[in-house]
Amino acid sequence: MEFYHTLCLLFSLSARVLLDLPFTTAQSCHPAQSNALLQFSNSFTVQTDMYLLCDPKTTGWENGLDCCLWDGVTCDNVTGNVIGLDLSFSCLQGTLRSDSSLFALRHLHSLNLGGNNFLASPILPELSVFAELRDLDLTHSNFSGSKIRISKCLFRI
Ligand SMILES: *[C@@H]1O[C@H](CO)[C@@H](O)[C@H](O)[C@H]1NC(C)=O
Ligand SMILES: *[C@@H]1O[C@H](CO)[C@@H](O)[C@H](O)[C@H]1NC(C)=O
């Protein structure tokens, strides 16, 4: 009797674990992607007195905390990859360079940098490294130059 009871308990425990697996909480951030986000954020200044009403999002980003929980960051809940970055109207000012760590976030599906001041940075061909990018918003952000070709991407400027 005791044996069956234990067996049954074991079974129900493992069944519970199995059943719970697909419903575990979202994946946490990959450290390399977290570092890329922090480096990207550190390459800009936050100007809260910007000409627009802006709301800083990156100032709350903190090393050691799961970047999937940071303001403006969306992760794939299965792979944990950063797939969305929405830094619209985040009071960012600075130039976007071709060696920016932003371009390490290869899994981005959507990128919104609208409503910041990129000081007439050129629209870089590096933006096409995002093979899965569907939505790119660079409106009202002081980029210069013309659009580049990005496959399957809705480019707003
Ligand atoms: C995980 O992502 C899928 C696809 O984006 C979504 O439909 C689903 O609701 C998400 N699940 C959780 C637990 O967030
Ligand atoms: C855009 O950037 C250029 C170069 O830094 C600067 O002179 C200009 O004032 C900026 N435009 C706006 C609207 O901030």
Q: How many other C-beta atoms are found inside a 10 Å radius of the C-beta of residue 49?
A: 6
Q: d(Cα 113, Cα 108) in Å, to the nearest integer?
A: 13
Q: Which amino acid would we find at residue 90? A: S
Ligand 1 and 45: CB distance under 6 A: no
**Poorest-pLDDT segment among 24-28, 78-82, 96-100:** 24-28
Summarised one tens digit per residue, pLDDT across range 37-96 is 999 999 999 998 876 689 999 999 998 899 999 999 999 999 999 999 999 999 999 999
* pLDDT the model gives residue 49: 85
- pLDDT at position 10 is 43
The ligand with the least distance to the CA atom of 68 is: 1
Q: Domains in the chain, please, with CATH?
A: 26-156 (3.80.10.10)
| Residue 40 dihedral angles phi and psi, to the nearest 5° | -60, -50
Query: What is the helix (H) or strand (E) element at residue 154, kind and residue range?
Result: strand 154-156
Model pLDDT, residue 1: 47
| Atom 13 in ligand 2: residue holding the nearest Cα | 142
